[in-house]
Chain A
Amino acid sequence: MEKFTTLTGIAAPMPLVNIDTDMIIPKQFLKTIKRTGLGVHLFDEMRYTPEGAEVPDFVLNQPAYREARILIAGDNFGCGSSREHAPWALMDFGIRCVISTSFADIFYNNCFKNGILPVILPPDAVEQLMDDAEKGANARITVDLEAQTVTAADGTVFEFDIDPFKKHCLINGLDDIGLTLEKVSKIDSFEATARARFPWA
């Protein structure tokens, strides 16, 4: 997994609540058996007309945001299905960080498995960053995972909370499965006990 340490970049504003995973990556792109190549379909039905032309108004189609690395979004980002295609598509497009007031649980977890940092900040902080994002390339935002801070264009620093284990894995690009397999003897002994206690399971 790609590491995440610090990131400075343009942020795209998406001031909508409840942006769901069907919006992030519609179902017709779930038929892939690969993890890559989904970036062109990110936000597909908002981004393109049914004929496949770009919708000029859509934020990621505007010249200022084609290189966006950060997304600033409304409440409850990533609600809906468990599809990991959502973070895959964001990553493939080049978005490495999403900032919102809240995230849906499964999406939030999925981000960490793919080198994307979801940052939860209070409403006024998100509002200020949304204003920054509206300014496009004139306002770069910096995210520092080690320090757990987001720095707005005017230098205001917002601190965020994060699960220490998730932070550790993301900073070091660690593979969860490898880490868990180091504890295989604990799984073995759990299974032995469980076999006695729940023989039917």
Chain B
Amino acid sequence: MTAPKTLYDKIWDAHLVDEAPDGTALLYIDRHLVHEVTSPQAFEGLRMAGRTVRCPEKTIAVPDHNVPTTPDREKGIENAESRIQVEELDRNARDFGIHYYPVNDIRQGIVHIIGPEQGWTLPGMTIVCGDSHTATHGAFGALAHGIGTSEVEHVLATQTLIARKSKNMKVEITGKLPPFVTAKDITLSVIGATGTAGGTGHVIEYCGEAIRGLSMEGRMTVCNMAIEGGARAGLIAPDEKTFDYVRGRPHAPKGAAWEAAMTWWRTLKSDEGAQWDKVVTIRAEDIAPVVTWGTSPEDVLPITGDVPDPESFAGGKIAAARRSLDYMGLKPGTRLTDIPIDAVFIGSCTNGRIEDLRAAAEVLRGRKLAPGVRGMVVPGSGLVRAQAEEEGLAQVFIDAGFEWRLAGCSMCLGMNPDQLAPGERCAATSNRNFEGRQGRGGRTHLMSPVMAAAAAVTGRLTDVRELMTETV
């Protein structure tokens, strides 16, 4: 009998091309996703060395970071550097014959949204992208993580990655989530509990009743932010929900291939008795809607809390918290719900899927943006946008006073013109609250789509549970 294995062990073993005695491994890569920001130097490297893309059929490219999201974007990209990056991707996709979703294709969108949407992301695969939020795809029970540009070039040339096995970490969320507490609150609370380096050197498997209870969209939100917890990747074992989501997608297997795939997919779970290097358990009942107060995703508190005193931390965190509060323009002891906002951003690869838009629209239905607050909804893909229009969600946002945008990364990082002005404060559904992330001097509070929608209505950070019970 073989020793019990974790899900991570199983995927790793199935992709091992070679392993040196010192543990340096060559791992086969099933899907390589590519976007315009981290790939030009890799393609340039290939050209200079006279190399080709080994498996163009396993390589999928889409421009997302730089693209304008305004309705008139067919006019082209104004910023010359952004335009050149997108044109480079056009050219590289063409020259190397890889799958491509150009800006004007309705299937275009954020790379981590369209991978699953198009059925490129499948259970048991290894998936990489020159982007840290590749962790998203782990929601399907795929080993998915971000790589640097040199590694992008390596994967393009060899379809493999030089890797070393990470440790196994189990994050179990027991019980059922209370109302208005979402996948985003789970993932932020885990980071709040373990810190941004808590997962360093580990691959996290999320499990437990609350994780099983999430939809695929919610599971993607959880895995998306595994990287903010420092983990190499996040994983969730596939189940019927996973298979239902995948079935019938354009690049999912069909017929006999589907049956063969299902046979292997059903084995993709951690065995009883598998060894974990680290275990964290959180009760779903203890999770509240959370927001971030600082400039690190670990700076998380329940919305019922107050801005903390930097002196309450230890070590280097004291200086970091002081710097954070100074940057965020916040005073210790301020109630989080007393913090006014200037902008609301709903979108990103964390929360730009149809279910996120449904949840936010539910809160916004019949309500309006608070005076003076700017609201922006940026669907994660052209198809999400189309579906939201069909379901009438777009109209809810428009009626509430939001801008209804085209798909892209947008104000998640503001590489395109969608940016905060210095000092502006934003309730955002994205994943990073770093200094300058959404625009130089911009202040970001991370939260779930329902919490962002609630903040939009009141013009300050708000406990969505209160807003929604007020009117019942």
- Interface positions of A (Cβ within 8 A of B): 15-18, 20, 22-23, 26-28, 30-35, 45, 50, 74-76, 79-84, 87, 102-106, 109-110, 113-114, 163-165, 176-177, 180-181, 183-184, 186-187, 190-191, 194, 197-201
Q: List 19 A-B contacts (CB under 8 A).
A: A20-B434, A27-B414, A30-B415, A31-B84, A31-B415, A75-B197, A76-B197, A82-B131, A82-B147, A82-B148, A104-B197, A164-B22, A164-B24, A177-B153, A186-B26, A187-B160, A200-B253, A200-B261, A201-B125
Measured in the bound complex, the distance between the Cα atoms of B88 and A16 in whole Å is 37
Query: Across the interface, do B44 and A33 meet the contact criterion of CB distance under 8 Å?
Result: yes
Look across to chain B and name the residue whose beta carbon is closest to the beta carbon of A87: B148
Distance (Å) between the CB of A161 and the closest chain B CB? 13
Residues of A within 8 A of B257 (CB): 199-200
Chain B residues, CB < 8 A from A83:
37-38, 148
Complex: A37 Cα to B124 Cα, angstroms: 40
> How far is A116 from B153 in the complex, measured between Cα atoms in Å?
18
Segment among B271-279, B314-322, B347-355 that sits at the interface with chain A: B314-322
Which of A106, A163, A183 is within 8 Å of B146, CB to CB?
A106
How far does the Cβ of B282 sit from chain A's closest Cβ, in whole Å? Answer: 21
Q: Would B151 and A113 count as touching, CB distance under 8 A?
A: yes
Specify which chain B residues have a CB less than 8 angstroms from the CB of A45 in the assembled complex: 435-436, 440
Which residues of chain B have C-beta atoms less than 8 A from A165's C-beta?
20, 22, 24, 162
Per-position binary interface string of chain B over residues 1-28, scored 1 when its CB falls under 8 Å from any chain A CB and 0 otherwise: 0000000000000100110101010101
In the complex the two chains form, is B131's CB within 8 Å of A81's CB? yes
Q: Is the CB of A187 within 8 A of B17?
A: yes
Q: Is B422 a contact of A50 with CB atoms below 8 Å?
A: yes
Residues of B within 8 A of A104 (CB): 197, 200, 230
Interface of B is mostly: loop
B260 at interface, CB cutoff 8 A = yes
For A50, give its contact among B82, B320, B440 (CB under 8 Å).
Answer: B440
Question: Which residues of the other chain, A, contact B435 by a CB distance below 8 angstroms?
Answer: 22-23, 45
A-B pairs, top 10 by smallest CB distance, nearest first, are A200-B253, A113-B150, A31-B81, A110-B148, A33-B40, A82-B146, A17-B316, A84-B148, A74-B316, A165-B24
Judged by a CB distance under 8 angstroms, whether B367 is at the interface is: no
Q: A105-B201, A177-B158 are in contact. Are A22 and B432 (CB under 8 A)?
A: yes
Closest beta carbon of chain B to A6's beta carbon, Å: 23
Specify which chain A residues have a CB less than 8 angstroms from the CB of B24 in the assembled complex: 163-165
Q: Assess whether B132 is in contact with A176, with CB atoms less than 8 Å apart.
A: no
> How long is the Cα–Cα vector from A179 to B340 in the complex, in angstroms?
55
B157 contacts A by Cβ under 8 Å: yes
A79 to B, closest residue via Cβ? B196
Given contacts A33-B88, A50-B422, 17 further A-B contacts (CB under 8 A): A20-B296, A23-B434, A27-B436, A28-B415, A31-B37, A76-B230, A81-B146, A82-B146, A82-B147, A84-B130, A106-B145, A163-B24, A176-B154, A177-B157, A184-B158, A187-B160, A198-B14
Q: B residues bordering A, Cβ < 8 Å?
A: 14, 17-18, 20, 22, 24, 26, 28, 30, 37-38, 40-41, 44, 49, 51, 54, 65-66, 79, 81-82, 84-85, 88, 122, 124-125, 130-132, 145-151, 153-154, 157-160, 162, 164, 166, 195-197, 200-201, 230, 232, 253, 257-258, 260-261, 264, 296, 298, 315-317, 319-320, 323, 413-415, 422, 432, 434-437, 440-441
Please name all residues of chain B whose beta carbon is closer than 8 Å to the beta carbon of A15 when the two chains form the complex: 316, 319
CA separation between A50 and B441, bound complex, in Å? 9
**B residues less than 8 Å from A102 (CB atoms):** 197, 200
- A80-B320 in contact (CB<8A): no
- Chain A residue nearest in CB terms to B159: A187
- Interchain CB contact (< 8 A) of A186 among B18, B66, B79: B18
A198 touches B197 (CB 8 A): no
Choose among B41, B125, B162 the residue that contacts A34 (Cβ–Cβ < 8 A). B41
Task: Give Cα A188 to B195, complex, Å.
Answer: 41
> Are A80 and B148 in contact, CB atoms less than 8 angstroms apart?
no
| B437–A22 touching, CB < 8 Å | yes
CA distance A102 to B261 in the complex (A): 40
Contacts of B38 in A (CB 8 A): 30, 82-84
Please indicate the chain B residues that have their CB under 8 angstroms from the CB of A183 in the complex.
17-18, 26
Distance, CA A28 to CA B38, complexed state (A): 13
- Is the pair A17, B320 in contact by a Cβ cutoff of 8 Å? yes
CB pair B82–A181 under 8 Å, yes or no, is no
Q: Are the C-beta atoms of B440 and A106 separated by less than 8 Å?
A: no
Residues in A with CB closer than 8 Å to B158 are 177, 180-181, 184, 187
Q: Which residues of A contact B149 (CB under 8 A)?
A: 35, 84, 110
Known contacts A74-B320, A165-B24, A187-B17; A18/B153 CB under 8 A: no
